[in-house]
Amino acid sequence: MPQSETIAAKLRELPDSPGVYQLKDKRGRIIYIGKALSLKNRVPTYFHQSAHNDPRISHLVRRIADLDWIVVQSELDALMLESSLVRQWQPMYNTMLKDDKSYPYVKITAEPFPRVMLTRRYVQDGGRYWGPMTSVAQVRSAVRFIAGLFQLRTCKLTIDGEKKYHKPCLDYHLKLCSAPCVGYIGREEYAKLVGYAQDFFNGNYGRVVDEVKQRMWEASELKQYEAAARYRDLIAAAEKSVARQRVIGRPGENLDVVGLAHSKDRACVLLMPVRDGRLIGDRKFILNHRMEDTEGNDVLAGFIKLHYANPLNVPPE
C-alpha cells in the first residue's frame, strides 16, 4: 500500500506512457531511478504486497516518501534518459538493485586497424560508440551491414600492421573484409573505410551512398551484375530514407536544436537533432514538475547539462 497521501495522489496521476521515474526519501534525495514502458503500470508495483517478498525491494519501499517522473516518446528514449540520470545522481539503490541486464551498443574500436562490434559495455577506451539500443538484432544487423559494405574486420585478432598472418579468413573471400591481417590493405587506406562507417552511424548518409554508387559502377563494368543489383537496391533504400528527412540546414551541418515550453505544473523539452543539414527526428521529454515562469531557463540549462553529460549524445562535429 502507498506510504502517504502524497504518493497515493501521484500514483493516480501516472500516465500510461514510456518514461523515467525517480523515487525519493523524506529529505527529497533521489534514492532510485528506473525506466518503464508504461509508468502507470510499472511504478505502482513497488507498493504491491508481492514486492515485499524481495528484501532489497522491501528496504527501498520503506524509504520512499515521494516520486516524480519524466514522460518520453519511446522505450529507447527512456533507456537513454535513465542512463544519464543515474550517472548524474548515482542513487544508492541503483547500485544495490543493479541486475545483469545491459543494452547493446555499436562500437568501432581504437585499435590500429579498428573493428566493428557489438558490445554491452560503454568504456572510456578511445573507441567510438553508438547507442544504447533496445534491440540486439538491430545492432547485429548494423554491424554486419556496415562491416561488410566497407570491408571492415569483425574478428578478435590483434593486428598492428607489423605481424602478418599466413592467409586471410573466409570473410575476405566473400568480400566482407579487406584482410589487414595479411597486409592486403594499409593503415591509411583502412582508416578511410572506418571514416565511411562513422559517417553512416553519424547520419551522414550522402557519403555512404556515394561510396555504394562507386561500387555499383565498378561491379557493372566487371559484369558482376548480381553484385551491381545488390548495390543498386542498397542505394535505393538509403536514398528513400534520406528523402524522408527534411533539409533545414547547410550540407555537413551537425547540431541539436533544443526548446522548452511549460505551464505551471509541467514542462516539455523538445530535442531536434540535425545531421548533415537534415532534421532526422525529434524527441520530447515531459517533466511532471510545478514551476514558476522564472524557472524556465534553469530547467533548460539543467536538461542540457544532464543530456550532454553522456558523450554519446554530443553531435559529431
Q: How far apart are CA 261 and CA 268, in angstroms?
A: 5
This prediction has a pTM of 0.51
Q: Is the pLDDT of residue 316 over 80?
A: no
Which residues touch 23 (CB under 8 Å, ≥6 apart)?
A: 30, 31, 32, 33, 34, 46, 60, 64, 66, 67, 93
The identity of residue 229, as a single letter, is A
The mean predicted confidence, pLDDT, of the chain is 80
Q: How far apart are CA 139 and CA 107, in angstroms?
A: 10
Residues 78-88 pLDDT 10s: 877 887 788 77
Q: How far apart are CA 43 and CA 22, in angstroms?
A: 10
Q: How far apart are CA 196 and CA 305, in angstroms?
A: 30
pLDDT of residue 234: 64
Residues 275-308 pLDDT 10s: 766 666 667 777 765 556 556 677 778 778 777 7
Closest CA to 184 of 217, 227, 153, 216: 153
Sequence-separated contacts (24+) of 236-243 with Cβ below 8 Å: 238/205, 238/208, 238/209, 238/212, 239/209, 241/205, 242/205, 242/206, 242/209, 242/278
Identify the structural domains of the chain with CATH numbers, from first to last.
5-96 (3.40.1440.10), 102-202 (no CATH), 204-244 (no CATH), 248-290+311-317 (no CATH)
Cell numbers describing residue 21: 521515474
